[in-house]
Amino acid sequence: MNVQYIECISSDDKVKKINNRDFSWENKAKFEVNSKENIFSIRMLPMCNIKLKAIRVVFEYNSLFDGEMLSNGYQTWTRTKYLNEKNKIKKLSFLAKPFNMKYYGDYTFYESTGEKGKIYSHEFTCLRNSNTYSIFGSLNQEVAYTIFEKNYNEKSFSIYIDVDGLNFTQSNEIDIAKIYYCTGNNQEDLWKDYFHNIKGDRKPGDSLTGWTSWYYYYTNISHDNICENVKQLEESKIPFDVFQIDDGYQLAVGDWLNVNNKFNNGMKVIADEIKKSRFKPGIWLAPFICEKDSFIYKEKQEWILRDKNNKLQKAGWNNLWSGDFYALDLYNKEFNSYIRKVFRTIFDEWGYEMVKLDFLYAVNLLPREDKTRAMVMNDALKLINEEVGTKKVLGCGIPIGSAMGKVDYCRIGADVAGYWRDKKLEMIGYRERVSTKDSLYNTIHRYCMNKYVFSNDPDVFILRKDKNKLTEYQKYTLFFINNLLGDLVFFSDDISSYCDKEITMIKSAYPIIKPDKVIINESKKDLFDFKLTIKNREYVAYTNMSEQDKSFMLPKGLYYSKDTGVINEQEIVLKEGQTICFYILKDNEEGLWVFTDGYIYPGTEVIDTSNNKGKVTVNFAEGFINKYNTYVVSSKNINVTNINDKIVKKIDNKNINIWVTKRIQSL
């Protein structure tokens, strides 16, 4: 990576271009450029006091920068997708102004031009060109945010470094950029190499499943409906791990120690009830914001961050609260003590074991004196980790670079909803929009982070019939991809409203078995295939994320899916939002395959089998809880008479022998 020139950008957007051989800026500063063992770095040596808004480094263009570019969003909700010369990242429309949407993303400190072919990506990116991948990732998230820029029109590649807030002095030498880069044909190994260079305070959390109140009740929760859901989930006998109470218990956003009159018995009573039902209690809070109805806004406005005009710093708008809400000042000593007390109360007095921390982006909306936005966020995460200790943290609404290595679990996409997409919010260029479709894009494209820098939370799946416009195909796609690529898999429905179909689907995910390997490929635009290996079994799943039907040919072989039964190679047509997962029945010595239709990855629920003159015995995995039919498929002349002493019937299927039992109740 050779530098062509460096730009120093002042707060009034004046640009000083530095392109001399030693990258020296008159008598103001010098830049040391180094590239060694896949790490490119720039160290700034100031010769006087300097304040800058940003530094841009433009590279000499080479083949590393060819191909489609992964546009990774600023924070957890921001859309992440591969883009190319035909795409553009829209500017946020003036129509978003009344709703304070600009505060949710990067709109206040990095403005998209809205031009076709000008693409950018926060903290890391991948350029894919045929079967070659070039990955670039910042290792400097604690110091300054790095934005990778590609201009297809001018064939240029650069990095934009957000140093706003820093005071550069003669004694303040600083690494303003540290980039890991690698190229090759194995995308999974390249991502692994990059993320292994990220050093953090916390390790990725264990795989968990659970329930959250938000997507069914939103703020309309109460002691009674929370306890009723605890009871229903316990009676379901489905082995969920976590029961999380979301927004709606507090008196107001910011008043975390004062619960409202729907929770007159307090929050400890509910945590105790959750534990009695064998679940881990979790709770939501947004530690760095307050709404107008809060005691902070009414009595403690000195805790609220103020902008350069000394006005209270807005952080957004929410129609479920009292409208505008505000960012809180991490460095106010009184507020700092208050929020530490909140954490200690939640863990030590109330007894919760996990916190979902939301709207975290608000804490660094403004850089501070001698601190960049990245430094402010890092200070906030230090506070959180000091207070949380061994309890678990789910980060949400947080700049994705700051979250790496700092939380146990992290949301990696937008909120889902009971609909596929929001075309109005798409039109105004709001990239943090609530959207099931965009959430799935992020789940796919940020899977590379999972289990390296945190465990991915893809948000909930929604199976219910009421308050839900998702098609049956879209519901299953959300369920399948969340389970395949997520490690914190929640749902939010009233389980008592489920019919047999929904109960069967949710049980099909147990026991939780994660693939040993997943390879993701976009074979056609918006047609994804996922090649996965589990305990020497191979699967391939296809997902259609487009608005039209998509067709493809299965390669030569033998396949099983619940949708198609046992089939040979043939053309498959997927509807909009549809997913089909195939178990690849590869040749084996016995010429025999055994699986059920009750598990998300057929065959993985089977530990071993034996065949004694047509009597097949199957040993199932512990935790397999679903209703099921057992299938025996044979490519040889074998006559099966029963499976686990259950009578079978033979299915006509050309030259393949298939036997199946009648449906059996849960084990």
Tens digit of each residue's pLDDT (9 = 90 or more) over 130-146: 889 999 999 999 999 99
Highest mean pLDDT pick, 197-201, 256-260, 522-526, 633-637: 256-260
d(CA 559, CA 569): 8
Both tokens assigned to 162: 């957000």
Q: Which tokens is 577 given?
A: 């939002």
Average pLDDT over residues 144-160: 97
Q: Which of 208-222, 531-545, 645-659 is the least confident region?
A: 645-659
262-266, 288-292, 612-616: which range is least confident on average? 612-616
**Percent of the chain at pLDDT exceeding 70:** 99
- 509 phi/psi in degrees, rounded to 5: -85, -5
* Whole-number pLDDT of residue 588: 81
Predicted local distance difference test score (pLDDT) of residue 652: 73
Cα separation, 537 vs 531, whole angstroms: 11
Residues in CB range of 24: below 8 A, 6 or more apart: 18, 30, 31
Task: Catalogue all structural domains in the chain, each as residue range(s) with its CATH number.
Answer: 3-195 (no CATH), 208-288+333-507 (3.20.20.70), 519-661 (2.60.40.1180)
Mean pLDDT, rounded, of the chain: 95
Q: Which helix (H) or strand (E) element contains residue 355? A: strand 354-357
Residue for token digits 């590379």? Answer: 448
CA 150 – CA 148 distance, rounded (Å):
7
Per-residue 3-state assignment (H helix, E strand, C coil) for 266-285: CHHHHHHHHHHCCCEEEEEE
Q: What is the DSSP string of 600-648?
A: SSTTTTEEEEEEETTEEEEEEPTT--S-B-EEEEESSS----EETTEEE
Distance of CA 384 to CAs 120, 127, 287, 296, 454, Å?
Answer: 30, 35, 9, 20, 16
Sheet holding 242-245, edge to edge: 455-457, 409-411, 392-395, 354-357, 280-285, 242-245, 208-212, 488-491
Measure the CA–CA gap between 241 and 64, rounded to whole angstroms: 44
What pLDDT is recorded for position 528? 97
* pLDDT score of 212 more than 50: yes
Could you say which DSSP state residue 36 is in? Answer: E
DSSP state letters, 125-191: EEEEETTEEEEEEES-TTT-EEEEEEETTTTEEEEEEE-TT-EE-TT--EEEEEEEEEEES-HHHHH
**Is the per-residue pLDDT at 526 higher than 60?**
yes
Q: Which two tokens stand for residue 289?
A: 């914001």
What's residue 654's pLDDT? Answer: 67
Identify the pLDDT of residue 662.
73
664 band by pLDDT with thresholds 50, 70 and 90: low
- The predicted structure's pLDDT at residue 667: 43
Burial environment of residue 34 by CB neighbours within 10 A (0 to 12, 13 to 18, 19 or more): exposed
Strand spans (E) along 459-589: 488-491, 517-524, 527-534, 537-544, 550-553, 558-561, 565-568, 571-574, 579-584
- Is residue 124 helix, strand or coil? strand
- pLDDT (tens digit per residue) in 330-385: 999 999 999 999 999 999 999 999 999 999 999 999 999 899 999 999 999 999 99
Q: Which residues have CB under 8 Å from 235's CB, separation 6+? A: none
Q: How confident is the model at residue 647 (pLDDT cuts 50, 70, 90)?
A: confident
- 430-473 pLDDT, tens digit per residue, is 999 999 999 999 999 999 999 999 999 999 999 999 999 999 99
